A and B are shown apart, each in its own frame.
Chain A
Amino acid sequence: MTPEVYSDNMSFTYEHADTPALMNIMLSIPRGQCVVLCGASGCGKTTYSRVVNGLAPQFFHGAFAGSQRTCGLNPAVIPIDRLTPLVGSVFQNPKTQYFNANVTDELAFPAENIGLPADEIDRRVNAVAERFGVTGLLGRSIFHLSGGQKQRIAMAAACMLDPRLVVLDEPTSNLDQAAIADMRVLIEAMKARGLTIVITEHRLAWLNGVADRYVVFDGGRIARQYEADEFLALSPGCIAAMGLRALDLGPYRRRIAELETRSGAQRGLSPNFDGRTTPGSSQLGDEASSGMQSPEPLLSTRDLVIGYRGLDDFTRHIPDLEFHAGDIIGLMGHNGCGKTTLVRTLTGLAKPISGSVTLNGRTAKPRDLTHAGFLVMQDVNYQLFSDSVREELMIGLDETDPAVLAQANRVLVDLDLARFADRHPMSLSGGQKQRVAIGSALMCGKELIILDEPTSGLDRYHMEQVGELLRGLAAQGKTILVVTHDEELAAGWCTRIVNLERTFAA
């Protein structure tokens, strides 16, 4: 049987790029296999997925060499819409891959484009909606769905035309743990139907037992291919050495649980916060983090109730929290448990429904909180306003003041941005943009720095870099709050974990 995806000595160089994104790729994926493409950022795995579904070179132009077959067709030369009924694609960002505002229209969209009759489209929409468990979402506005639901719709839409191959490009990078578990169920179901599945992914643990084969990319080449059992038998150290994320999240989850109980015991939070206290866990924490902390918390909350009024009311009681200088607090819990609202409340962007937030011992108004805190948004593009990194740091400050200039230079060096001082912020990579945003917070003298999902879609190296950055900021006496689903980041770098989900049950 001919393989579903076949590359023979295939190379691809993006237009305006100096180095090839893919070099001499030899890969053959037989029908019905689930193959994971992994490797560090920029290793070529996403480019390979684009070559498979024809987006490169047809949409992302560049020089293509060698030969490529996808479902028996050459995606580099045939019109890309010949692949539409054969290949379904799911992309990274749940927010920007649906075209219609309405779930039903979105599912119908590929079928309409292919010219199916209306009653057949309706039949398929219902059948696919049932298969993917989105029947209850039909007719609803996609804008108001959660990331997990959006990604589920994207999967369903990709399967509307009964494709033979599904290509997923980092489908989980914006999802929480529960949504990832759902994604796994969907992939298993697709595999059971005999579909060939190609997934590029940083987070590998959720694919254990589903993937048949792992292809490790490095610098545009295939470094090595592993059968699933062979790959899963590799030691954690070996996986880390390849720059890959952990295969077994067990130790990380245990560490997170430990950090959670520790926060209850050590900080003397309200008893209903977390009843369980593991013996011995408090001593563990004391040596690690109490040395540098001032007794007076920077920020504390008292009987705080957060939420918003409006179409869908949401209120939530928050256990009393204390944030000290030098803390790195991980804020975890599934989507919808109020993490974003809590962050908005702590930065003064939203008013608390009741209760109070104390800043440096005094009850703070939202305006004071906005002044003292800073939020590095998940989409950092929203918060970069200038046309050079240096100017970005000095917005709102007196650029002629030598003290300000000296401070800007110091921040540039501290954050490893000195080389980019005159570059346009938008020309930087995601991690560099994040650092510019943090730099602007340091320039404004912010004490509390909150990061919203700073490691979504990052490989191990960049995730660790973010972790080190957090540690560096904490060492400068800043208080850090990280909203994250990333167990590896939370376990490795947070000094405490607050899980809003669990406090809900209490």
Chain B
Amino acid sequence: MRSSFSTESVTSDSRTPLQPPAATTAPGAPAFSADTAGLPSARSGSSRRSGLADRTLDPRTKLFLLLTANLMLFFHVTLTTQIIMVVLFLVPLTAAGRWRLTANFAVLYAVLTALGLLDPEALGLPWLHVVSALAVGATMMLPCFMTGAYAFTTTSASAFICAMRRMRVPETVVIPCVVVIRFFPTIAEDYRQIRNAMALRGIASGGWGLVRHPAQSLEYILIPLLMNATTVAQDLSVAALTKGLGREGEHTSRTLIRLRAMDWLAMVAVVIPLILDIAGVIR
């Protein structure tokens, strides 16, 4: 059934011819093409990314990477292993065309690692202990963020649904996960709106505003974000319910996912350093 389908990629974007909308929309809809030009909303660049969509791994592999990142935290791996793993985690992110994200993660990791390596005693600055301890904690968390960002920013909701169903995950887990994935892009847009609203009220505005009053700012950002999230969650549930997301019985998918050689290679590549570390080979 699924083999009849030519698309190998996770999303079908790359194969769908992208015609100019004005040429194909219905008569009486010339406003549409103009509409998109004026959209001031989130512009994360997914249209640009779409051409690279088939260079991402299978969603199951992505979840596996996320799992290994968590195991690293659990087993408290050595710095060498951590660096190897971070490099390995950043490769698929680069391959997916997320250059900026990769660069940001790489720089952040390098800076935090360097901070963690500082010797406050030798420098005669005992307060630096706090900084380096925090830096070490952050470097341990970063691999989870890297793999998480990779999994959630490069996968379509439908590919995730398909992957989880193939893994025989119960529907009670699938549906909340899908809702969460659907949420991420809205949070970015919500954040922008809230920051604008704060600027207009003169609350924590400007580049340093957030740093000067971190706790207060967090509250001012989180409250509207959460309040908005509850209404969005309700709207989404209602829409999904009427479209049969919760229906019992077999669901099909027009999105084809398949574990390819590259997926197995990626999984083996990240497992080897982890095993060697646990076995005590890497020190």
Which residues of A are in contact with B by a Cβ distance under 8 Å? 53-55, 58-59, 79-81, 83-85, 87-89, 91, 93, 95-102, 104-105, 108-119, 121-122, 125, 132-141, 143-146, 148-149, 157, 176, 178-179, 181-182, 185, 308, 310-312, 314, 334-338, 340-341, 344, 347, 349, 370-371, 373-375, 377, 379, 381-385, 395-396, 426, 440-441, 444
Smallest CB separation, A320 vs chain B (Å)? 21
Question: Do residues A341 and B252 form an inter-chain contact, with CB atoms below 8 A?
Answer: no
Smallest CB separation, A382 vs chain B (Å)? 5
Smallest CB separation, B33 vs chain A (Å)? 9
Q: Which residue of the partner chain B has the closest CB to A103?
A: B16
Cα distance A144–B158 in the bound complex, in angstroms: 18
Smallest CB separation, A247 vs chain B (Å)? 22
Question: Do residues A314 and B38 form an inter-chain contact, with CB atoms below 8 A?
Answer: yes
Question: Do residues A146 and B35 form an inter-chain contact, with CB atoms below 8 A?
Answer: yes
Smallest CB separation, A36 vs chain B (Å)? 20
Q: Which residue of the partner chain B has the closest CB to A387?
A: B223
Smallest CB separation, A205 vs chain B (Å)? 17
- Residue of A79, A96, A104 with most chain B CB atoms under a 10 A cut-off: A96
Smallest CB separation, A251 vs chain B (Å)? 24
Question: Do residues B224 and A384 form an inter-chain contact, with CB atoms below 8 A?
Answer: yes
Which residues of B are in contact with A by a Cβ distance under 8 Å? 1-2, 4-5, 11-13, 16, 18-29, 31-32, 34-48, 50, 156-158, 178, 182, 185-186, 189-190, 193-194, 196-203, 205, 219-220, 223-224, 227-228, 231-232, 235-256
Cα distance A344–B47 in the bound complex, in angstroms: 25
27 contacts between A and B (CB under 8 A): A58-B241, A59-B237, A84-B242, A89-B239, A96-B235, A97-B238, A99-B236, A114-B244, A118-B5, A118-B256, A133-B27, A139-B18, A139-B50, A143-B41, A143-B44, A144-B47, A145-B39, A182-B29, A308-B40, A336-B36, A337-B34, A344-B40, A370-B202, A382-B190, A384-B227, A385-B224, A396-B201
Known: A81-B244, A145-B36. A140 touches B47 (CB 8 A): yes
Cα distance A371–B242 in the bound complex, in angstroms: 45
Question: Do residues B32 and A146 form an inter-chain contact, with CB atoms below 8 A?
Answer: yes
Question: Do residues B235 and A91 form an inter-chain contact, with CB atoms below 8 A?
Answer: yes
Q: Which residue of the partner chain B has the closest CB to A184?
A: B28
Question: Do residues B40 and A340 form an inter-chain contact, with CB atoms below 8 A?
Answer: yes
Question: Do residues A182 and B228 form an inter-chain contact, with CB atoms below 8 A?
Answer: no
Residues in B with CB closer than 8 Å to A146 are 32, 35-36, 38-39
Task: Please classify the interface of chain B as helix (H, G, I), strand (E, B), loop, or mixed, using the class held by over half of its residues.
Answer: helix
Residues in A with CB closer than 8 Å to B247 are 79, 81, 84, 113-114
Residues in B with CB closer than 8 Å to A101 are 46, 156-157, 182, 185
- Residue of A87, A118, A308 with most chain B CB atoms under a 10 A cut-off: A118
Cα distance A215–B253 in the bound complex, in angstroms: 40
Question: Do residues B249 and A385 form an inter-chain contact, with CB atoms below 8 A?
Answer: no
Question: Do residues A136 and B19 form an inter-chain contact, with CB atoms below 8 A?
Answer: yes
Smallest CB separation, B251 vs chain A (Å)? 5
Question: Do residues B255 and A105 form an inter-chain contact, with CB atoms below 8 A?
Answer: yes
Smallest CB separation, A389 vs chain B (Å)? 14
Cα distance A395–B200 in the bound complex, in angstroms: 12
Question: Do residues A99 and B240 form an inter-chain contact, with CB atoms below 8 A?
Answer: yes
Residues in B with CB closer than 8 Å to A55 are 238, 241-242
Question: Do residues B251 and A115 form an inter-chain contact, with CB atoms below 8 A?
Answer: yes
Known: A110-B243, A112-B251, A374-B200. A143 touches B238 (CB 8 A): no
Q: Which residue of the partner chain A has the closest CB to B206?
A: A367
Question: Do residues B157 and A99 form an inter-chain contact, with CB atoms below 8 A?
Answer: yes
Residues in B with CB closer than 8 Å to A137 are 21, 25
B26 contact from A104, A132, A383, A426, Cβ within 8 A: A132
Q: Which residue of the partner chain A has the closest CB to B230?
A: A426
Known: A109-B158, A118-B4, A383-B197. A136 touches B21 (CB 8 A): yes
